[in-house]
Amino acid sequence: MKPSIPKGTRDFSPVEMSKRNYIFNTIREVYSLYGFEQIETPAMENLSTLMGKYGEEGDKLLFKIQNSGDYFRGISDEELLSRDALHLAGRFCEKGLRYDLTVPFARYVVMHRDDLTLPFRRYQIQPVWRADRPQRGRYREFYQCDADIVGSDSLLNEVELMQIVDTVFTRLGVRVCIKINNRKILTGIAEMIGQAEKIVDITVAIDKLDKIGLDGVNAELEAAGLPADAIESLQPIIGLNGTNSEKLQTIRTLLNGSTIGLKGIEETEFILNTLEGLSLKNQVETDLTLARGLNYYTGAIFEVKALDVEMGSITGGGRYDNLTGIFGMPGLSGVGISFGADRIYDVLNQLDLYPASALTRPQVLFVNFGNAEVQYLLPVVARLRHNGVRAELYPDAAKMKRQMSYANARQIPYVVLAGETEMQQGMVTLKNMNTGEQTLVDKDTFTL
Amino acid sequence: MKPSIPKGTRDFSPVEMSKRNYIFNTIREVYSLYGFEQIETPAMENLSTLMGKYGEEGDKLLFKIQNSGDYFRGISDEELLSRDALHLAGRFCEKGLRYDLTVPFARYVVMHRDDLTLPFRRYQIQPVWRADRPQRGRYREFYQCDADIVGSDSLLNEVELMQIVDTVFTRLGVRVCIKINNRKILTGIAEMIGQAEKIVDITVAIDKLDKIGLDGVNAELEAAGLPADAIESLQPIIGLNGTNSEKLQTIRTLLNGSTIGLKGIEETEFILNTLEGLSLKNQVETDLTLARGLNYYTGAIFEVKALDVEMGSITGGGRYDNLTGIFGMPGLSGVGISFGADRIYDVLNQLDLYPASALTRPQVLFVNFGNAEVQYLLPVVARLRHNGVRAELYPDAAKMKRQMSYANARQIPYVVLAGETEMQQGMVTLKNMNTGEQTLVDKDTFTL
């Protein structure tokens, strides 16, 4: 009898919603200033659209929706008794819940290709669903806030995405470090040391330098099967430090001769140099250990870390080629970014960064002393609302104490009272709930 | 290979999203002025929460989500081979997509009862899913925009919901008629003529008066099994007209002696009289043929019709008792309202009522003549954005013609150009795309 919700899902209370809306609205507003326009796609996509796009593991993590009506039709007894859950899911179900916003976006671009003007800049803020094992900070339903540009390979797009990140976090009051890398540099490095297939192992190992030290990293590289001379060549990369241009200089030396590697350096330099002229509020840092979406991104890769809170990446993105190729529309390059709303929410909570104006609770409660008083107050409530004040009239003529504790529980900052005395004078009593101060004010003119 | 989306679902393009957001934001803002606060609940609910709440037909229309992993576990071969689709759905699936916002709200109130201060006023704007046969204007995924107050049986709540309806449609520029009825009046009428079980038949028949005339209505009542004397007693109700108070007077005569019926009249009179003092912009009309949610509502029932468009009800709601009783928390009265976003969207489209400010496309496009020009323009773009102007820089140095048709296709009203001449003077050329007019302006000070 006690109702519950599926594990890994959440209800959001009014206070949580105000805070979440503050984050979403900030992101939305900045996207919009940069010329991105919003789209929405259905929660359900055909499984044929989703399957095979997120690897074998991803196929299992898709929430599948059972067909309506007789979903057994056309399935033989033998097939049924095989109890092959994954195979039969494809027979029982034609639809699934979207797993991210990227594949639906690719599907959207292909389906609406004739109506779109390229380059197409869209943003999308919607929930996604994954049948992951729920754990602290990982949910089965969560929002993504994506912006992508398809149909342009100009690096100005990367520059603008970095400006967007900088603006959003400046507006939210969070100090961040924007880390950038480039898949082409990583490819170049792996090529130059003759270990093209070991990119992931290499970046994962280098990423642990802070934790396990240089010897640890080298041991890990050896364990991953890298020959001694390859590990030797990697030493300048592992200990890479200094300013962005010092780092790029070191990498350039190693990559001399790798066309793709040098292209990656050139791209990174263009982005960094252009950003220099735009005086961002936050630091942008070259970081070769960024390896997110490595089998996906083809150029720039970015990730954002909060400086004042211990927390994983709170925003990320990169350049991908051929996003729409999977749906038969090849040759379209894209670059995108995704803000992690849930983690940003946690960061703002930990740093207590929500402005008072983010909370949209009522500003004033009108106390209800009975019908005569209510009829006197109703036009006053209406006037305030008309002037944009969030106002509430307590609906029942309950005891004063109950109405005051209601105002306190909801943290409503002002209360208005009107009894016989006020009514005879055309006044109301305005009480400040924080200071306790009471003022007699004209009912037709007072404001908050 | 050609991708598609499930039937009955929709993609929303940027223009459609702007229009939808305009409607949602208007409703959200008004709800908020009336002290309602937003909550959100998960798309997926446990099937135990949803099943049995919408009738037998409703159970079939729930989208059910297949369990992850081995969903065959615990099911015998015999059970499997029974191919009993509805029964086995309950074995294969533990979760379903929400069907409306009311049941999840009731579940929310019961689950969070210890954290809530009653009366609780919440609004909720989220999609719902129904496996209905898709047809013109009926979708399998659509948004509901609900506001409810639970924990107060004061009629002031009904009054405020009517004010909300009036304010929302006034802001949207749609002239409407707000119709109100009361379940208690209907019960009283059916009682007084000794036909308590025939309420629905009676209201459905009376509702057809305009279409089939008085004789037709009477014939239909007879066909529904009403005896002649009952039909005779109904004649004043069928031909009911005049002002609200004339109508109520007529009904009162018939209901004299029915406690519940007279209570319904009294409630309606309180609502109408209180609204009279609040000078709504739209008409409120007593209409006995309103029978929405008759096995659900227990007091006031409302429905809203657009005056200038042929369209079904675009908003509705009413008073229900014991909403949370199904989840073991009896005795909580509630009243609510639901705006039909999809129909309101169609109404605004047909009447061409979207203000220009509702569209959030970029206000200005900066033309890209190459890297030198771009470096010159980037700080100008940044300055405008900082001042709240939605500005876009064309990312590629494409042919002028292509960039101008891009601006036209996206209906961007201004274009900024800067070539060698402008750069030497610290100026840019601002072109109004509607008039074709070009002006040379200072790059550091011009605004839009």
Enumerate residues 155 to 214 of chain B having a beta carbon within 8 A of any beta carbon in chain A. 156-157, 159-160, 163, 167
Asked if residue B198 has pLDDT above 90, the reply is no
Contact B185, B247 (CB under 8 A): no
Q: How far apart are CA A128 and CA A132, in angstroms?
A: 12
Q: In the prediction, which pLDDT does B1 show?
A: 64
What's A356's DSSP letter?
Answer: G
The answer to whether residue B414 neighbours chain A at the CB level (below 8 Å) is: no
Predicted-complex ipTM score: 0.94
Q: Which residue of B has its CA nearest to A87?
A: B70
Q: In the prediction, which pLDDT does A247 show?
A: 95
The answer to whether residue B89 neighbours chain A at the CB level (below 8 Å) is: yes
Q: What is the 3-state secondary structure (H, E, C) of chain B?
A: CCCCCCCCCCCECHHHHHHHHHHHHHHHHHHHHCCCEECECCCEEEHHHHCCCCHHHHHHHCCEEECCCCCCCCCCHHHHHCCCHHHHHHHHEEEEECCCCHHHHHHHHHHCCCCCCCCEEEEEEEEEECCCCCECCECCEEEEEEEEEECCCCCHHHHHHHHHHHHHHHHHCCCEEEEEEEHHHHHHHHHHCCCHHHHHHHHHHHHCHHHHHHHHHHHHHHHCCCCHHHHHHHHHHHCCCCCHHHHHHHHHHHHCCCHHHHHHHHHHHHHHHHHHCCCCCCEEEECCCCCCCCCCCCCEEEEEEECCCCCCCCEEEEEEECHHHHHCCCCCEEEEEEECHHHHHHHHHHHCCCCHHHCCCCCEEECCCCHHHHHHHHHHHHHHHHCCCCEEECCCCCCHHHHHHHHHHCCCCEEEECCHHHHHHCEEEEEECCCCCEEEEECCCCCC
Nearest to A68 among B131, B141, B159 (CB): B131
Distance from CA of A76 to the nearest CA of B (A): 10
Chain centroid, CA A142 distance in Å: 9
Q: How far apart are CA B438 and CA A103, in angstroms?
A: 42
**Strand-by-strand arrangement of the B333-339 sheet:** B37-38, B120-129, B141-150, B333-339, B315-321, B300-306, B176-182, B283-286
Contact B146, B123 (CB under 8 A): yes
Asked if A17 and B38 come within 8 Å (Cβ–Cβ), the reply is: yes
**Strand-by-strand arrangement of the B64-66 sheet:** A44-46, A93-97, A64-66, B64-66, B93-97, B44-46
Asked if residue B129 has pLDDT above 70, the reply is yes
The answer to whether residue A42 neighbours chain B at the CB level (below 8 Å) is: yes
CA-to-CA dists, residue B196 to A49, B189, B216, B253, B322, angstroms: 53, 8, 22, 18, 21
Contact A245, A140 (CB under 8 A): no
Strands A364-366 and A391-393: parallel
Chain centroid, CA B136 distance in Å: 17
State which H helix or E strand residue A113 sits in.
Answer: none
Distance from CA of A37 to the nearest CA of B (A): 6
What's A240's DSSP letter?
Answer: -
Distance from CA of B295 to the nearest CA of A (A): 23
Contact A174, A292 (CB under 8 A): no
Please, which residues have CB within 8 angstroms of residue A414's CB and are 6 or more apart in sequence?
A363, A364, A365, A430, A431, A432, A433, A448
Q: How far apart are CA A269 and CA A267, in angstroms?
A: 5
State which H helix or E strand residue A399 sits in.
Answer: none
The tally of CA atoms less than 13 A away on the side-chain side of residue B26 is: 25
Q: Residue A330's CB: how many other CB atoms inside 10 A?
A: 11
B1, B2, B5, B24: best mutation site toward chain A, by most A Cβ within 10 Å?
A: B5
The answer to whether residue A420 neighbours chain B at the CB level (below 8 Å) is: no
Q: Residue A353's CB: how many other CB atoms inside 10 A?
A: 16
Q: How far apart are CA A275 and CA A162, in angstroms?
A: 8
Nearest to A119 by CA among A323, A326, A300, A328: A323
Chain centroid, CA B251 distance in Å: 32
Nearest to B43 among A72, A85, A141 (CB): A141
Asked if residue B84 has pLDDT above 80, the reply is yes
Q: In the prediction, which pLDDT does B293 show?
A: 67
Asked if residue B210 has pLDDT above 90, the reply is no
Name the β-bridge partners of A123. A38, A147
Asked if B37 and A18 come within 8 Å (Cβ–Cβ), the reply is: yes
What's A392's DSSP letter?
Answer: E
A9, A65, A81, A383: best mutation site toward chain B, by most B Cβ within 10 Å?
A: A65
Q: In the prediction, which pLDDT does A260 show?
A: 95
Q: What is the residue type of B283? A: Q
The answer to whether residue B49 neighbours chain A at the CB level (below 8 Å) is: yes
Q: In the prediction, which pLDDT does B303 show?
A: 95
The answer to whether residue B94 neighbours chain A at the CB level (below 8 Å) is: yes
Contact B324, B109 (CB under 8 A): yes
Nearest to B415 by CA among B365, B379, B380, B376: B365
The answer to whether residue A326 neighbours chain B at the CB level (below 8 Å) is: no
Q: What are phi and psi of B399, to 5 degrees?
A: -55, 145
Largest CA distance in chain B: 95
The answer to whether residue B77 neighbours chain A at the CB level (below 8 Å) is: yes
Give helix A199-207 / helix A209-223 axis angle, nearest 10°: 150
Chain centroid, CA A65 distance in Å: 25
More reliable by pLDDT, A443 or B237? A443
3-state SS class at A278: coil
Per-residue pLDDT of chain A (448 residues; tens, 9 = 90+): 689 999 999 999 999 999 999 999 999 999 999 999 999 999 999 999 999 888 888 999 999 999 988 999 999 999 999 999 988 998 999 999 999 999 999 999 999 999 999 999 999 999 999 999 988 888 999 999 999 999 999 999 999 999 999 999 999 999 999 999 999 999 999 998 888 888 888 888 888 888 898 999 999 999 999 999 999 999 988 888 899 999 999 999 989 889 999 999 999 999 999 999 999 999 999 998 887 666 779 999 999 999 999 988 999 999 998 889 989 999 899 999 999 999 999 999 999 999 998 988 999 999 999 999 999 999 999 999 999 999 999 999 999 999 999 999 999 999 999 999 999 999 999 999 999 999 999 999 999 9
The answer to whether residue B21 neighbours chain A at the CB level (below 8 Å) is: yes
For residue A119, say if its preceding peptide bond is cis, omega within 30 degrees of 0.
Answer: yes
Among A115-124, A401-410, B320-329, B386-395, which stretch is predicted with the lowest mean pLDDT? B320-329
Enumerate residues 347 to 376 of chain B having a beta carbon within 8 A of any beta carbon in chain A. 360-362, 365, 368, 374-375
Compute the radius of gyration of chain A from its Cα atoms: 29
3-state SS class at A440: strand
Q: For residues A393, A397, A403 and A407, what is the CA-based torsion angle, rounded to 10 degrees?
A: -10
CA-to-CA dists, residue A314 to A138, A303, A334, angstroms: 13, 8, 21
The answer to whether residue B23 neighbours chain A at the CB level (below 8 Å) is: no
Nearest to B400 by CA among B359, B442, B370: B370
B75, B98, B156: best mutation site toward chain A, by most A Cβ within 10 Å?
A: B156
Asked if B117 and A14 come within 8 Å (Cβ–Cβ), the reply is: no
Look over chain B and give the mean of its residue pLDDT values, rounded to a whole number: 94
Distance from CA of B188 to the nearest CA of A (A): 26
State which H helix or E strand residue A80 sits in.
Answer: helix A77-81
Strands B141-150 and B333-339: antiparallel
Contact list in A for residue B129 (CB cut-off 8 A) is 43-44
Q: How far apart are CA B44 and CA B133, in angstroms?
A: 21
For residue B119, say if its preceding peptide bond is cis, omega within 30 degrees of 0.
Answer: yes
3-state SS class at A286: strand
Asked if B393 and A156 come within 8 Å (Cβ–Cβ), the reply is: yes
Q: Which residue of A has its CA nearest to B168?
A: A386
pLDDT tens profile B242-294: 999 999 999 999 898 899 999 999 999 999 999 999 999 999 999 988 876 66
3-state SS class at A337: strand
| Mean pLDDT, residues B400-405 taken together | 96
Q: What is the residue type of A356? A: A
Q: What are phi and psi of B212, to 5 degrees?
A: -115, 0
Q: Which residue of B has its CA nearest to A21?
A: B38
Distance from CA of B261 to the nearest CA of A (A): 23
Chain centroid, CA B4 distance in Å: 27
Distance from CA of B156 to the nearest CA of A (A): 6
| Mean pLDDT, residues B13-38 taken together | 97
Asked if A378 and B274 come within 8 Å (Cβ–Cβ), the reply is: yes
Q: How far apart are CA A271 and CA A181, in angstroms?
A: 11
Contact list in A for residue B60 (CB cut-off 8 A) is 68
CA-to-CA dists, residue A357 to A18, B91, B335, angstroms: 10, 48, 29
Nearest to A394 by CA among A405, A386, A139: A405
